Amino acid sequence: MSKSIRFPLVSKTVSVDRSKEITRKKDYLDLDQLDRNCAYTLEEFEIISDQLKHRSLKTKVDKSGEIVYINHFELDKSGKLVPIPPTPIFKEVAVVKICTQINSWNVRAGQNGVMTSSQEGFLIETGKARTLDVAFMPKETYRNLTVEQDSYFVLNISVELDWLIDPINDEIWVYKQNLTNGNVFCRHSDWGDLDGGDTLPGFKLKVWKVKVAILQELSESEPSESGDENTHPCHLCLQTFSELCYLIEHLEDDHVRKKWISRG
């Protein structure tokens, strides 16, 4: 396992009119003849992505020479194709944890937005298409999508806020894009909860939940040497938990949330 792992990017998307930059063509590219040393346009990238919805491509994903079947590419700044290998299970666990938190906020705050997974592409910067593990789209943006945007999620869609999380090394990078001029600003963030700010008002991503889920998936379960593993009791319902983080999650999900629902 590499020391640095790309982890879920959580994004809010907004529409940007880039209709003058590129025009869609109904075309075909031979996937078996793709050259990863060549530069491809966004238009060609869409054609490739569309074809990969119906088949997989056998290719090498890194310098190790390992050959895998893929059905996703990203497009870097130079226009070169970057193969995205199959997602490991622990990463999917992290994605589910993040989706759960965003969806809870989405319902609680009455946002009525939609979430997508890593099946679609978004423009992080002009000319650069990325696959996001988790993306949130406001209802106004979703309702105003054209047929082509709804099919491809590439053209005329840009990301406003982007979180890159590495729970293995406790590192976070925050990217924000100026949707007026397309400039992207990046900063390294302290490890801890992420505030959605003006982009996701009232939302905080509890990063510790993501890390706990991943470490639990990566580590081998070991039998307890004593019978006192349940050491953290809940004084509201008398349940006990082996880890403090599980008790906190229980209080939030089974007590705080129920109290909030009963008020509604």
- Residue 18 DSSP class: -
**109 & 173 share domain:** yes
Q: Of 83, 101, 119, which residue is a domain's last?
A: 83
Q: Torsion-angle region of residue 65: left (phi > 0), alpha (psi -120 to 50) or beta?
A: left
**45 & 111 share domain:** no
In this prediction the pTM is 0.53
pLDDT at 74: 80
Pairwise pLDDT comparison (103 vs 181), residue with the higher score: 103
Decide if pLDDT at 19 tops 60.
no
Quick one: which of 196, 177, 198 has its CA closest to 186? 177
**178 & 246 share domain:** no
Entry field: residues in the chain? 264
Range of the domain at 41: 31-83
In a domain, 132, yes or no: yes
Q: Are 130 and 74 in contact (CB under 8 A)?
A: yes
Which helix (H) or strand (E) is 113 found in, with range?
Answer: none
**161 & 125 share domain:** yes
Quick one: which of 157, 204, 170, 162 has its CA closest to 186? 162
Encode 115-174 in three state secondary structure.
EECCCCEEEEECCEEEECCEEEECHHHHHCCCHHHHHHCCCCEEEEEEEEEECCCCEEEE
The count of structural domains within the chain is 3
In a domain, 50, yes or no: yes
**91 & 205 share domain:** yes
C-alpha torsion angle, residues 84, 184, 171, 120 (rounded to 10): -30
**79 & 98 share domain:** no
**47 & 150 share domain:** no
Decide if pLDDT at 13 tops 60.
no
- Per residue in 158-179, pLDDT (tens digit) is 678 888 888 778 889 898 877 6
Q: Of 46, 61, 83, which residue is a domain's last?
A: 83
* Tokens (6 digits) for 54: 């119906």
In a domain, 26, yes or no: no
**74 & 96 share domain:** no
**Radius of gyration, CA atoms only, the chain:** 21
Quick one: which of 169, 163, 176, 168 has its CA closest to 203? 163
- Per residue in 31-73, pLDDT (tens digit) is 888 888 888 888 888 888 888 877 888 877 666 667 777 777 8
* Confidence at 23, pLDDT banded by 50, 70, 90: very low
- Per residue in 119-129, pLDDT (tens digit) is 555 555 544 55
**206 & 238 share domain:** no
